[in-house]
Chains A and B, each alone.
Chain A
Amino acid sequence: MKSFLFPEFQVIRDEATCDHCRGCERQCSFGTHSYDPVHDRMLSDEYKCAGCQRCVTFCPKDAVVVRPNQSVYRPNASWSREKIEDLKKQAETGGVILTGCGNDKPFRIYWDHIVLNASQVTNPSIDPLREPMELRTFLGSKPDFLDVEKENGGLELTTRIGPNLVLEMPILFSAMSYGAISYNAFNALAMAACRNGTFFNTGEGGMPREMRAEFGRCAIVQVASGRFGIDAEYLNCAAAVEIKVGQGAKPGIGGHLPGEKVSPLVAATRMIPAGTDAISPAPHHDIYSIEDLSMLIYALKEATNYEKPISVKIAAVHNFAAIGSGIARAGADIIAIDGLRGGTGAAPKAIRDNVGIPIELAVSALDRRLRDEGIRNRCSIVAAGGIRCSADVIKAIALGADAVYIGTSALIAMGCNLCQKCYTGKCNWGICAQDPRLAGRLNKDIAANRLSNLLAAWSHEIMEMLGGMGINAIESLRGNRDHLRGIGLYEWELDVLGIKGAGE
């Protein structure tokens, strides 16, 4: 039966420039381009095009342009083209619409309504190129005070401090599992993290054995509801363990890695048979209440000899502040909170676009809640969900986070163009495909360099902005809402963020 849907993208080829090298045909895994030997020209089946821009980038003649197809429907503010076509898809298939990447709907982006301070006259700005500027961050539980004793003509520390992660900059790579992303992409994240003094997160796909010796020390391993690949060796090879309770893109539901993406290598890492679906249930079936979470946290502490910080990752939903407070009291060392715009390899579109709240509001409220209860020292807060640039990082820290997780940004650094087709397994950039023909396109050394460049560039920009505020150590920015002002926000939003309006 003919589909009533129109193509999402338009492929425009300059016939005069195109020399039929068929490069676009080779590059496209969706089968959009083909060669017509009769007329010696390239043909494009626009219905198949995902808009990933791979052919455009690699055309040696710059002969092809791919852009979103203009809507043909009469303009209708309520029935947007997307709403109409999604409905038709469901009518045609009876299925749940899947998508990838993060929420693309125009919810207010608070980062773009917050401006930063700079020091003048009453306080000098500091020059990061020539004077010390410190970004070193510690994630983990801290005691409320330290006890020292005089001993042998010096001072001896007597308080025991729990395990902490040491980061040379307040940015970590967010959880992206091997299985969701390709082996080379996963490796590149590990390499860049180790090189730049930060950490990457294995996601729920486990950690390939051959990577453990070299990259374990920079890894945060996840214990998710599917418990894939988790054994004592996995837990102990890492620097920290994260219990994944939820993620921003799909709060409240589980995950599903389709059997086609479970290649033998993926299966070995997850310790499941190849070709079977990898299903992550919605809740952890041993966590039905907060005290159960506490039990799991301590179980993991026991399994790792109390040597590693335990993190709990939650999605930002309506009463997350109370949940966050509970998690801090349950014994977690780090709380990772993933907001509305967090990315994913596959999620139902309805959930991705409608469930959750923005991370800016969440992080500020959580920080305030923990301080009001006097327990802010017990946990570090890591913010995630749509951090796009160094200014977002600064604002997140000023709102109360200790550090940020970047997922989508890291993928874009490696080449992703957010075409949202990750769940098909046909990623032309080799980032989230398992098919060796596609996955091999991503060179892990080049990708690692690109990620290192990203971290270096953002670190430098962060230092410039800190220096501008008259601060030379990142700990003096944490929760320091004095240095932020809001523009174009409602009063309640200013209140939740805890900042004043510009000019106030």
Chain B
Amino acid sequence: MEQHASGEESRRARIEEGAGWTEVDASGLETRELNDLLWELMNSGVAKVKIKNVCGQRYIGTRLYSPEKRRMEIEIFGTPGNDLGAFLSGHKLRIHGNAQDGLGNTMDDGEIVVEGRAGDVLGMSMRGGKIFVRDNAGYRTALHMKEYEDKRPMVVIGGSSQDFLGEYMAGGILILLGLGEIPHRGNFIGTGMHGGAIYLRGTLEDTQVGKEVTISPLDEADRQIVEKAVAEFLERFAEQDYTKEKIMEKEFIRLSPASKRPYEKLYAY
């Protein structure tokens, strides 16, 4: 295993400038060391970073809270660890590879793009910003996603997701495109939903959704939202067999909460 970087010199050695991007080599770096490095780069005014050889480092992007509202664009090569973009406050992260669990945990603003699949608990308690995943997501995607005033988060998944999708959803937009014509097999979808909307390309059985959910077709306003999201998705993943028209050809369904207060009658005096 390579020696851990320490000291100014070895740190400098990891950083390469070129063509407007600063490159960082993450091999052998612990989570904290990598995030320290990124924080320093942000505060020294660097706006674009490429991180190579990422393997398991966590919370990438979380440290980068900037009261001055600095914004960075970060490209990640390798497999980042859990909680990537947790509490993210406005930066743009793109992963050239698969993401693990906890992507965009309690994210407030910014954008995360994954050229691959994501793990469990994606976008948990997300309040703002956007997440685009090219392939599939795991369990408990967008759990307790929220919205507040003008913050309306959006998650677009190119493939499908597993059980407990949108559990406790309180706001925001969640879109599953089912590209590759894969069937949606998740269960307990939208259980506890009391806000927000899920748009799903394809079909679901009634038994797959929570009792708080109603299924309906898209209306005009819904279609516009979905079309816009699909266009943004395709912009970010250029090599697709699909065009916007082809995607929009197939039926979408909308999952909405039956009530803002689903448990009103449950408790006695």
Which residues of A approach B to under 8 Å, CB–CB? 127, 129-132, 457, 460
Give A457 to B269 CA distance when docked, in angstroms: 12
Interface residue? B210 (CB, 8 A)? yes
Q: A129-B263, A130-B167, A130-B210 are in contact. Are A457 and B268 (CB under 8 A)?
A: yes
For A132, the closest partner residue in chain B by CB is B188
Give A127 to B212 CA distance when docked, in angstroms: 15
Interface residue? B192 (CB, 8 A)? yes
Interface residue? B252 (CB, 8 A)? no
Q: Interface size for chain B: under 10, 10 to 19, 20 to 34, or 35 or more residues?
A: 10 to 19
**Which one of A130, A457, A460 lies within 8 Å of B191 (CB-CB)?**
A130
Query: Are A130 and B268 in contact, CB atoms less than 8 angstroms apart?
Result: no
Residues of chain B within 8 A (CB-CB) of A132 are: 188
Residues of chain B within 8 A (CB-CB) of A460 are: 266
A129-B266, A130-B210 known; 4 new pairs, CB 8 Å cut-off, are A129-B192, A130-B168, A130-B192, A131-B191
Query: Are B188 and A131 in contact, CB atoms less than 8 angstroms apart?
Result: yes
**A124 to B: closest C-beta gap in Å:** 11
Give A478 to B20 CA distance when docked, in angstroms: 65
Give A46 to B268 CA distance when docked, in angstroms: 36
**A396 to B: closest C-beta gap in Å:** 23
Residues of chain A within 8 A (CB-CB) of B164 are: 131
Residues of chain B within 8 A (CB-CB) of A131 are: 164, 188, 191
Residues of chain A within 8 A (CB-CB) of B188 are: 130-132
Give A104 to B89 CA distance when docked, in angstroms: 64
A-B contact pairs, 16 of them (CB 8 A): A127-B192, A129-B192, A129-B263, A129-B266, A130-B167, A130-B168, A130-B188, A130-B191, A130-B192, A130-B210, A131-B164, A131-B188, A131-B191, A132-B188, A457-B268, A460-B266
Render B210-224 as a binary contact track against A, CB cut-off 8 A, 1 for contact.
100000000000000
10 pairs of A and B residues whose beta carbons are closest in the complex: A130-B192, A130-B191, A130-B167, A129-B263, A130-B210, A129-B192, A130-B168, A131-B188, A131-B191, A457-B268
Residues of chain A within 8 A (CB-CB) of B263 are: 129
**A285 to B: closest C-beta gap in Å:** 49
Render B177-195 as a binary contact track against A, CB cut-off 8 A, 1 for contact.
0000000000010011000
Give A183 to B104 CA distance when docked, in angstroms: 63
Residues of chain B within 8 A (CB-CB) of A127 are: 192
Render B147-169 as a binary contact track against A, CB cut-off 8 A, 1 for contact.
00000000000000000100110
Interface set, chain B 233-269, CB cutoff 8 A to A: 263, 266, 268
Residues of chain A within 8 A (CB-CB) of B268 are: 457
**A129 to B: closest C-beta gap in Å:** 7
Candidate in A127, A129, A130, A132 with the most chain B CB atoms within 10 angstroms: A130
Residues of chain B within 8 A (CB-CB) of A130 are: 167-168, 188, 191-192, 210
**B267 to A: closest C-beta gap in Å:** 10
**A28 to B: closest C-beta gap in Å:** 29
Residues of chain B within 8 A (CB-CB) of A129 are: 192, 263, 266
For A453, the closest partner residue in chain B by CB is B268
Give A68 to B167 CA distance when docked, in angstroms: 53
Give A457 to B267 CA distance when docked, in angstroms: 9
Residues of chain A within 8 A (CB-CB) of B168 are: 130
Residues of chain A within 8 A (CB-CB) of B210 are: 130
